[in-house]
């Protein structure tokens, strides 16, 4: 089955609708303190949450300080690619959170939560 790719943006930028603020994320979910950890890796943790009534996975990228411009560009480029791809075997990206107003900053990807994990 072929992937459906949304129209390519020559700038590689994510559409504004892909972004939400940390405050909006907190308002539209069941609060960070109630999130359940699904897993952790070198780049951060993945949490189970409910976002506007939908079960989601929130992939929080753990950084101690703001990403350098090059790393932030890579993060946003990769998110842009994932946001544009629609395929039954690829989990779609729903929203991107980039909030650099706090210390440490908050970077996250929001995706539908799958009923099974790779960990068995």
52 within 8 A of 58, measured Cβ to Cβ = no
E strand or H helix at 84: helix 69-84
Q: What is the pLDDT of residue 11?
A: 43
Candidates 96, 87, 86; CA nearest to 56 is 96
Domains in the chain with CATH codes: 15-112 (3.30.200.20)
pLDDT tens, N- to C-terminus, the chain (120 residues): 555 544 444 344 566 678 888 888 888 886 656 788 888 888 889 999 888 888 899 999 888 766 788 888 888 888 888 888 888 888 889 999 888 887 788 889 999 998 876 554
The first and second tokens of residue 120, run together, are 């068995």
The first and second tokens of residue 55, run together, are 């079960």
- Distance between CA atoms of residues 42 and 33, nearest Å: 22
DSSP-assigned letter for residue 90: B
């Amino acid at each position: 089955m072929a992937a459906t790719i949304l129209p390519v943006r020559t700038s590689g930028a994510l559409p504004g609708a892909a972004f939400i603020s940390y405050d909006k994320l907190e308002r539209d979910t069941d609060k960070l303190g109630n999130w359940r950890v699904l897993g952790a890796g070198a780049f951060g943790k993945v949490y189970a949450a409910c976002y506007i009534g939908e079960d989601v996975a929130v992939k929080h990228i753990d950084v101690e300080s703001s990403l350098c411009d090059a790393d932030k560009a890579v993060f946003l480029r990769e998110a842009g690619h994932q946001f544009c791809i629609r395929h039954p075997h690829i989990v779609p990206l729903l929203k991107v959170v980039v909030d650099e107003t706090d210390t440490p900053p908050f970077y996250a990807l929001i995706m539908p939560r799958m009923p099974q994990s790779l960990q068995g």
